[in-house]
Amino acid sequence: MNHNNFIQYINADHPVPGSYYLTESIDLSEFDQWKPVGNESAPFSVKLKGNYKIISGLKITGKLNNAFSGLFGYLVNSQVERLIIDRPVIEETGRSAAVGAVAGMVKNTTVKEVINHSGKTGTTGNSAHAAGIVGIASHYSTITDNLATGAVYTKGRDSFSGGIAASVLAHSSVLGNLYTGKVTGAVYSSSSGGIAGKLSGHSSAKNNLHTGAITSMSPVSSSDYGGIVGCAKGASTITSNLNSGSLQLSEVWLSTLGGIAGLVENSCSVDRNVNAGVLHIGEGGAFTGGIVGQASNNPVRQNMNNGKITYNLYSKKPVGVGGVGGIVSYGSNLTAENNLNTADIIAGHLVYFYHGTVGGNEIRQRNNLQTGRIIINENSNHTTPPKLKEVPQNKTQPNPQGLDKNLWSSDPEKPFPMLRSINANYQDLLRISNAQNSDFTFPVALKQFAIPGGVANASLLNLVVWNVLNGSRPFLSGVPRQQAIQIGIHCGQGGFACSAENLLTSSTTAPSTASPSSGTQPFTEGCPAPEGIPLAQAYDFTNHQLYVVIRPSSDSSTLTVARYRSTVLDKGFGNCGKITYPLPDIAGWHFIGDSLLMGNSTNRHIHLVANKPGQKPLLLSLSLPENRASEKEAPGNSNEKPDYIMDYLQDSRSEINRMTGNNGMLFFSGHSASNFFIGRFSEKKKKYHSLADLLSDKDSARSLSVSPDNQLLYIAGIEKTTGAAFLRQYSSSTLSRHYPFGINGEVNAITPDNFHSHEAATAVHRGWVYMATITRHGDQLSVRRFDPSNGQTDGSFVIDEALHNYSGDFDTPDTPAEIKLYPDGQHLHVVKYGQKGDIFTTTYDDTKEVYRMNKNLELSNILFSGMIIADRKMYLSYQSGESGSLQTVNIMEINLNNQEVPPGNSSDGFPAWGYGVAIAFPIIAISALAIYIKFQNREANNAVGFMEKMMGTSKGVSLPLNP
């Protein structure tokens, strides 16, 4: 789309919805007043990819009530990305107006990688909204990876102002944004924040940076001010943000002021944030806290305040309502744990109250540390120097005891510990310190503290999207340097970390940056490993590609899909092997480990299932870009919006625990209060159908499998009272039991005469239906196979094996043994595992056992539930990194074949001492032969060979199996 096309189609008088891609910059200066596209009565829907082109000359000065103003007025179901809006002026004087550089209002819309450079957005009427990017974000909207540098103001009462968004409502989110400008809030009953004025309705503010300033006209009354969010309500979350901007108000009454948030209430949470901005109130009374001003019915956890607080230094009279606190000024029914205040508090002697951490009523607090001073000015005369006196208090002493070592890092050379979970905030703060003003004292005040202990190249921001550089503010890596300089952006030390490249490229390497201690050298080469928690894996058997679905953190509202070839990130996929999917609020949803990859090379989806108490189970389908033939075609992938489809299944009292399927059909099993059910979902028709089946005294289904022709379903489960294992067969078309199978569609597969089963698995392989069970401690294994036409047991394949020598560590209640069956070509793999890393595998070719492996992987954060086996290779994703910090996701590949390992050598997956034990003590190895197994033709020529055969071979990437 060129300039003429833009004016023709993005026109308020006759707008044309659609998908557009800018090919040149747009100059709107020919319009004395730009008319925003879309309004409340006729919302606009568009997909606009700006290619980082510049839109200049945007000017709107309106007087209408209920106006929505910006480049767009009112957007629904839209996407706007990669735009530079240069020096926009958007001002409305009417009541209930909403203004932003991109739009006044957005619903179910994504706005990403947009720059508002030196703009001016403001309102003067009452009940208005003003912000740097969007006025109001609502109904599952996502505002992510945007930068605003201009001024924002509101003047009317009951108004909201924010550097990025004024109000974020109804399951919407502001993620990974940067604001460097100045927000000036209204003087009465208003809310102002460096990122968002208001957060409400299960919305979230996460991984944002504010380095600007917040202020207001005087006097201020009944208002809320926060370095990140002005006020937060309705079960919203404020997580992992950084504020280094100042909050300075000359006269304030009956208000709140917080380094992160002013007012937080109604089941919100404030976790892992850092404030380093100065807080100053000249006169009046307000609840002023280093993290939160006033909080009720919320948790406040793992936050750090390093911003000096100056509060009513010259008290002329008793202040009344209001006070000051290092973490929270005043809380009620509040949980405050593992917070740190290192800043000084300086206040007048008539201040109502002051404390180093948290004060209020019904406070549950634990391990809140305070090292800053409280200093009182005993002089009320403005014309004379202050008379300062430090107040005695219970400050934290060096080497405090009783702290959780998973949350706090320590250094024997430092007297005080540091929170591990704020490492990314900490590293970002170090980088931007040289770009701040002289009042910014970090990190000098922290020299007596340990460092968080995470990696030095960590950042709150997505380093595929942002450049970070020591001594500079972050900048969007896709913007050509010359483009940035052209509009007057200061690139370099003290300015922004502009890209070194002059051409717009889709980079497959991480942005060049430097850690605080490494000068200007790049912090990494190639693609960085994704960070977060692996949820599920899926495998493309045609192209031999592994997909891993990752949640950046437990409360994140985004998912990342990474693609691997073997154990290496596939650079030809998305941005550096990863695609991020901004989603509506998925807090509290638990994803089961099952996932399915379906479709063809041009229309593929990864299907996931999640459960949440009181909600209908969720089917989430993440679309994948076209499977390119080579990496040369890959850059186009990163420009495609990662789409998703959400469907809700069953009813709110049910839970899905298994999923399988093929050829466009998905099948589910789960349970409700008294029944278990099976369900079917057609990928083509988008229709869901289910049927309940009475469980009586039986537990929920443990495993689900489907025949290759999609005609028959199999459910494996365990009876609660007897421990007997049962196998049921269902028709996939009617979801009813297939009665020719056993008795009424069910066989009692493994009875308590064998042992009390704890877990069961089923699979269809080479014309048979298999079932395996395991005891809780993993010391007994049974495997059977049945004729699918009648449920008769095949007597030539009956495995009952004692696994005492392979039991591993399954003795604690939280680590019971699990069992899975994996068809793999002509082979069937039986896998027993435990969450502490113990794994046992035996492989069958028809009735013949051809391979056996037993090992401890010496890792605990392994996604066993998403295990993939293909071509006799097992793929497991796992987390690595220091506890308490963001952990990277890596892939482990283990060969499941009978390749012998030469004596004296050790594979990556088996400690070298293991073979020494096998050689030095052959009796131990030979004793392993005394296991009672019913199978045919085992080969074990000698003790060493048999042990090596059991251990197998393994390879991986940076896998510390023998630390």
Q: How confident is the model at residue 523 (pLDDT cuts 50, 70, 90)?
A: very low
Backbone angles phi, psi at 129, to 5 degrees: -135, 135
pLDDT at 21 (0 to 100)? 93
Q: Are 481 and 500 in contact (CB under 8 A)?
A: yes
Displacement of CA 525 from its chain's centroid (Å): 24
pLDDT at 557 (0 to 100)? 79
State the Cα–Cα distance between residues 736 and 650, nearest whole angstrom: 17
pLDDT at 883 (0 to 100)? 52
Q: How confident is the model at residue 718 (pLDDT cuts 50, 70, 90)?
A: confident
Displacement of CA 942 from its chain's centroid (Å): 50
pLDDT in tens, 828-884: 999 988 767 788 899 998 888 898 888 877 777 888 888 899 989 999 998 876 555
Sequence-ordered list of residues with C-beta below 8 angstroms from that of 179, at least 6 positions apart, any chain:
132, 147, 148, 149, 163, 164, 194, 195, 208, 209, 210, 211, 212, 245
Q: Which of 256, 212, 260, 215 is nearest to 236 (CA)?
A: 260
In this structure, which amino acid lies at residue 602? T
pTM, 2 dp: 0.57
pLDDT at 695 (0 to 100)? 55
Q: Are 306 and 326 in contact (CB under 8 A)?
A: no
Decide if pLDDT at 592 tops 70.
yes
3-class secondary structure, 454: coil
Instruction: Supply the Cα-derived Rg of the chain in whole angstroms.
Output: 31
Q: Are 759 and 710 in contact (CB under 8 A)?
A: no
Q: How confident is the model at residue 779 (pLDDT cuts 50, 70, 90)?
A: confident
Q: 163: which 2 tokens?
A: 């550097």
3-state secondary structure 8-27: HHCCCCCCCCEEEECCCCEE
Q: How confident is the model at residue 221 (pLDDT cuts 50, 70, 90)?
A: very high
Helix (H) or strand (E) holding 224: strand 224-226
pLDDT in tens, 459-468: 999 998 999 9
pLDDT at 504 (0 to 100)? 32
Mean pLDDT of 226-243: 97
State the Cα–Cα distance between residues 262 and 328, nearest whole angstrom: 10
Mean pLDDT of 362-389: 85
Catalogue the long-range contacts made by 731-736 (C-beta closer than 8 Å, 24 or more residues apart).
732/665, 732/667, 732/680, 732/706, 732/707, 734/691, 735/678, 735/679, 735/680, 735/689, 735/690, 735/691, 736/691
pLDDT at 809 (0 to 100)? 47
Q: How confident is the model at residue 746 (pLDDT cuts 50, 70, 90)?
A: confident
pLDDT at 240 (0 to 100)? 97
State the Cα–Cα distance between residues 590 and 611, nearest whole angstrom: 5
Decide if pLDDT at 686 tops 60.
yes
Decide if pLDDT at 104 tops 90.
yes
**How much is the mean pLDDT over the chain?**
82
pLDDT at 945 (0 to 100)? 35
Percentage with pLDDT > 90 across the chain:
45
Mean pLDDT of 933-956: 32
pLDDT in tens, 66-93: 999 999 999 999 999 999 999 999 999 9
Q: How confident is the model at residue 123 (pLDDT cuts 50, 70, 90)?
A: very high
Q: Are 401 and 253 in contact (CB under 8 A)?
A: no
pLDDT at 881 (0 to 100)? 67
Look at strands 703-706 and 712-718 and give their pairing: antiparallel
Q: How far is CA 321 from CA 253, 358, 842, 912, in A?
A: 8, 16, 71, 68
State the Cα–Cα distance between residues 448 and 396, nearest whole angstrom: 13
Sequence-ordered list of residues with C-beta below 8 angstroms from that of 590, at least 6 positions apart, any chain:
610, 611, 612
Decide if pLDDT at 434 tops 90.
no
